Each structure stands twice: as structure tokens, then as C-alpha cells.
Amino acid sequence: MTQPHRARKRFGQNFLHDQAVINRIVTAIDPQPEQTLLEIGPGLGAITAPLLQAAGKVNAVEIDRDLIAQLPAAMAPHGELTLHEQDALKLNLKELLPDSDKVRVVGNLPYNISTPLLFHLCDQIDRIQDMHFMLQKEVVERMAAGPGSKTYGRLSVMLQYHCQVVPLFIVKAGAFNPPPKVESAIIRLKPHPTAPFQIGEYAQFQKLVTQCFSQRRKTLRNAVNGIATLEDLEAVGLDPTARPETLYGEDFGKLSHHLCNN
């Protein structure tokens, strides 16, 4: 790079520098030639360079103009990098990569936008082959949590409906510059080939899950107030005195499907 780049808090930048961690991430992704790779937030190119070396081509979305000005020259020896200056939260895979059927998405996601970005990508899940992300360890725990866990919630249910969620390994803060105040983890998200359970209408399912976990300490009967009745709960075999955090995604799906058909 021509000049040292100072990490910017407003972009949530923490740059990966530990080569052993970089190698482990790229091995987990296993990039291949002819695959369409999209990296969100390439930063200084720590993961971009080995991705290019393995696949030959990489598309990347970056919002920091200083990095956009420097990355192409830095990455040129490694392969063909196509940079898109864009806010990842406004990413439209169909418009960005119109010639690609399925995209492999990777990235070290800024902590401040990770959850809304995951939901945004799930809205385009039919365009995605798989996703490998570095995220705050606590977010990864929430993504992979099961019923009864303190970390189980809306994010767990919605992501697990869309994808197989596989936590891979933890990355210590010292692997970054500057070191974040939290540990990170690598996770793999593999979209289900077919929906794992019926939900009726997606908007109804999403509304139900969101409302239930906004009132997670209430009983199910009270948590679904305004959406479902006691009779609806009993019709699908759900205990009205149970708490939402004890239900499986399939339970929410069963109730949502019932509501859409009645």
C-alpha cells in the first residue's frame, strides 16, 4: 500500500494481520477457479490476496474511498479484482453480479452492521451458494444457538430457517490491528436446498418470530397477543404457558403456517 491506512471507527474497521489465521480462513472457504466470489469489506486485502491466488477473480464491495484508491494496485499481482464502491447494506446481488447464478460471499463483517447485513443477505438467499464470515463471537453464538439457550432468539430462528449454521473457529483479538475489545469467530452459512419446515407466508413467520422474541420472558399466550389466539396455539399443539425461547424454529413455522391457512 502506498500509505499506511488508519482504521476508521465509523466503518467498524479492524484489519486482520495474523497469517496463520488468514490461511485457516482461506482453507475453510476453499475457493476454486470459475466460482463467483464476493468479499464484503476487503480492507487491506489480507483475505483478498489469497482468494485471488486461488480463484483468479474476486468481486469486492468496499465503502472506504481511501481503500478503494489503493487496493487495485496492491492486489494486481495476485489476480483480477473488481471493486464496487457501495454500502453493503444496500447490496443487490442480482444487479451487482447479473451473470452469476450463485455467489460465494465472504467477509470480515463490521460489528456495527453485522445483524442487519445478515438479514439483508437472507432476503437474497436464492442467489447465494454459501457464506463465510468473521463476526463477533457473541453474534456467532446467537446465530448457532438452540432453544433454551440464553443466546437463542430471533437471529437464531431466522438464520437457521434459511441456512445450515456451522461455527468453525475462534479468532483472538490480537489477530487484528487495531485489536477489537472482543473475540471473533468464523462461521459458515450454507443455504438449505429446500425449506427445512413449512411456514406459510414468510412475512407472517417473520412477524411472529420478531414479536415473540421482543417479549421473550412472557408466556407464549401473551407473547402472540394480537397475532394468534389460545385456540390457535392449542390447534398446533403448543403449550400456551411455555416461553418463546423454548420453541424450535419448526414450532414457530407450524403456528405461522396454521395462521396463514386460517
Q: Is 165 found in the same domain as 248?
A: no
Q: Is 85 found in the same domain as 52?
A: yes
C-alpha closest to that of 235 among 209, 202, 258, 211:
258
Q: Is 175 found in the same domain as 226?
A: no
**CATH number (domain holding residue 30):** 3.40.50.150
**Residue 196 located in a structural domain:** no
Q: Is 110 found in the same domain as 182?
A: yes
Which ranges of the chain would DSSP assign to H, the alpha helix?
19-29, 48-55, 65-75, 93-96, 114-122, 137-144, 154-162, 202-214, 220-223, 230-235, 249-261
- One-letter identity of residue 151: T
**Residue 42 located in a structural domain:** yes
Q: Is 215 found in the same domain as 144?
A: no
Q: Is 128 found in the same domain as 49?
A: yes
**Exposed/middle/buried for residue 90 (C-beta within 10 Å: 0-12, 13-18, 19+):** exposed
Contacts of 183 (CB under 8 A, 6+ apart): 136, 137, 170, 171, 172, 173
Q: Is 255 found in the same domain as 216?
A: yes
The residue from 191, 219, 246 where one domain ends is 191
Q: Is 131 found in the same domain as 58?
A: yes
**Residue 121 located in a structural domain:** yes
pTM over the 0.85 mark: yes
Q: Is 133 found in the same domain as 214?
A: no
**Residue 2 located in a structural domain:** no
Q: Is 119 found in the same domain as 221?
A: no
Residue 111, pLDDT score: 80
Q: Is 150 found in the same domain as 47?
A: yes
Label residue 226 left, alpha or beta by phi (over 0 means left) and psi (-120 to 50 means alpha).
left
CA distance 53 to 104: 16
**Residue 145 located in a structural domain:** yes
Cα 32 off chain centre by: 21
**CATH number (domain holding residue 212):** 1.10.8.100
CA distance 71 to 27: 23
**Residue 139 located in a structural domain:** yes
Which ranges of 109-175 would DSSP assign to H, the alpha helix?
114-122, 137-144, 154-162
Per-residue pLDDT of the chain in tens (262 residues, 90 and over written 9) = 344 444 444 444 467 888 999 999 999 999 999 999 999 999 889 999 999 999 999 999 999 888 899 999 999 999 999 999 999 999 999 999 998 889 999 998 888 899 999 999 999 999 999 999 999 999 999 999 999 999 999 999 999 999 999 999 999 988 887 777 889 999 999 999 999 999 999 999 999 999 999 988 899 999 999 999 999 999 999 999 999 999 999 999 999 999 999 8
Q: Is 54 found in the same domain as 112?
A: yes
Rg (C-alpha) for the chain, rounded Å, is 20
Number of structural domains found in the chain: 2
Residue 175, pLDDT score: 84
Query: What domain range includes position 238?
Result: 202-261
